[in-house]
């Protein structure tokens, strides 16, 4: 079942269906859609229950109802006829009728939309969408939606994010986002072009401290300027996102697993201690366990948690690859996730402005492993995950 089938089912009952908010904006700006979609309809809950099997109810702060499909999830807002979806920002008031494909602009935001469409995301001079902040918006929803707008569309202009974050803290609060809201936000930010901007706003608004204190502790990690001129652990983590490559040259969409691995790769540093020449000894192992607990608390599935544990636990290995016996690390190298681990290393190195000589040496070492040590093709096709979260092959 796709969006066309959903529209057809509601149209048969005489109900309207629209994209709204980020879903409408993505279509107006011709961006690849998120794995989550936002729909507004004049159908009520009973009508939705009758139309769709498997409808669930994620909590009123998130949506009136949700429908999970194979590769996406659709969130419904049930509205009275002619009622517009309530948005935290005027920019999110845009809707698009799915049947006619026509956009509706009830609050006159077209000049802002035109500037966003004409200016690349990397430019700072873009329309000040935050001026349309609804003073009655919920603090949590406004902060989360503001972060997503920044990550996908930019437009913070000359106003510091600290000022915008401060204005958000004055909004009323009706309840903390549930785990599903948090999962949705993380995935939406991390597949967008500039998640660093979104995370900066969440930090300025106090949301990182309230929801994800494991991440905030990275702000306490001091790095030597020789190794990390980009700054402390928090700044370094955000900088890594800027070196990701899109999944396709034609679509600015990014690998969620790689991005989540980058977000969490150094979370063990605040828990580690210096040992000899190592200022953050065992931080990869400590970080793997902390990342696992963090993702479990947010309700991510076990397969993803195992993948991130593998990436975080082994993120220091690629740097040592040219000088270690490869056969001793066969389990790690044989994983189908190892190319992602190597890409994480590339982003990690590039963000510290060290140059990529080490990355290319590691890539050459991996190439040598593939020629000499990789298992037969029949075995490579049937990976399994061991108790430590590492992918292994039988035999």
Residues 214, 247, 62, 53, CA torsion sign: negative
Give the CB-side neighbour count of residue 35, counting CA atoms within 13 A.
19
Confidence (pLDDT) at 20: 94
Tokens of 149: 């707008």
Sketch the domain layout of the chain as residue ranges.
Answer: 3-180, 244-392
Q: Phi-psi region for residue 19, left (φ > 0), alpha (ψ -120 to 50) or beta?
A: beta
Confidence (pLDDT) at 25: 93
Report d(CA 83, CA 12) in Å as an integer. Answer: 21
Report d(CA 61, CA 359) in Å as an integer. Answer: 44
Q: Are 260 and 190 in contact (CB under 8 A)?
A: yes
DSSP 192: S
Report d(CA 307, CA 337) in Å as an integer. Answer: 8
Residues in the chain: 395
Fold of the domain built from segment(s) 3-180: Beta Polymerase; domain 2 (3.30.460)
Report d(CA 224, CA 171) in Å as an integer. Answer: 39
165: buried, middle or exposed (CB in 10 Å: 19+, 13-18, 0-12)? buried
Report d(CA 23, CA 305) in Å as an integer. Answer: 28
pLDDT along the chain (395 residues), means of 10: 88 94 93 91 95 92 90 91 82 93 91 77 57 87 91 69 84 89 95 93 94 94 68 91 89 91 96 78 92 97 97 94 86 93 95 87 91 58 40 36
Confidence (pLDDT) at 174: 84
Distance of CA 60 to the CA centre of its chain: 22
Helix (H, G, I), strand (E, B) or coil at 137: coil
**Percent helix, percent strand, percent coil in the chain, to nearest 5:** 50, 10, 40
Backbone torsions φ then ψ of 392, nearest 5 degrees? -130, 170
């Amino acid at each position: 079942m796709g969006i066309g089938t959903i529209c057809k089912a509601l149209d048969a009952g005489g109900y309207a269906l629209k994209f709204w908010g980020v879903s409408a904006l993505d279509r107006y700006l011709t961006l690849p859609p998120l794995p989550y979609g936002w729909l507004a309809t004049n159908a009520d809950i009973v009508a939705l229950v009758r139309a769709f099997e498997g409808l669930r109810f994620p909590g009123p702060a998130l949506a009136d109802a949700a429908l999970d499909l194979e590769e996406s999830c659709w969130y419904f807002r049930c509205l009275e006829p002619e009622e517009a979806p309530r948005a935290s920002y005027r920019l999110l008031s845009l809707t698009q009728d799915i049947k006619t494909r026509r956009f509706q602009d009830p609050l006159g935001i077209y000049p802002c939309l035109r500037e966003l469409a004409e200016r690349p995301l990397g430019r700072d001079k873009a329309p000040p969408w935050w001026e349309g902040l609804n003073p009655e918006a919920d603090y949590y929803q406004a902060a989360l939606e503001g972060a997503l707008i920044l990550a996908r569309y930019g437009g913070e202009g000359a106003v510091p994010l600290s000022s915008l974050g401060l204005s958000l803290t004055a909004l009323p609060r009706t309840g903390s986002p549930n785990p599903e809201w948090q999962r949705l936000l993380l995935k939406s930010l991390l597949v967008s072009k500039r998640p660093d901007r979104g995370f900066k706003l969440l930090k300025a608004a106090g949301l990182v401290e309230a929801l994800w204190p494991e991440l905030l502790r990275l702000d306490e990690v001091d790095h030597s300027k020789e190794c990390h001129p980009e700054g402390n652990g928090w700044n370094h983590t955000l900088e890594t996102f800027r070196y990701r490559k899109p999944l396709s040259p034609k679509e600015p969409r990014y690998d969620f697993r790689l991005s989540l691995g980058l977000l969490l790769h150094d979370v063990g540093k605040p828990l580690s201690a210096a040992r000899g020449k190592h200022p953050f000894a065992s931080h990869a192992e400590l970080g793997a366990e902390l990342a696992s607990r963090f993702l479990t608390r947010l309700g991510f599935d076990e397969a993803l948690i195992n993948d991130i544990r593998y990436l975080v636990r082994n993120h220091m290995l690629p740097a040592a690859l040219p000088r270690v016996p490869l056969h001793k690390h066969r389990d790690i190298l044989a994983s189908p996730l190892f190319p992602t681990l190597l890409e994480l290393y590339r982003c990690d190195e590039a963000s510290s402005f060290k140059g990529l000589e080490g990355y290319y040496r590691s890539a050459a070492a991996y190439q040598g492993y593939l020629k000499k040590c990789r298992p037969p093709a029949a075995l490579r096709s049937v990976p399994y995950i061991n108790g430590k979260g590492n992918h292994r092959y039988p035999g």
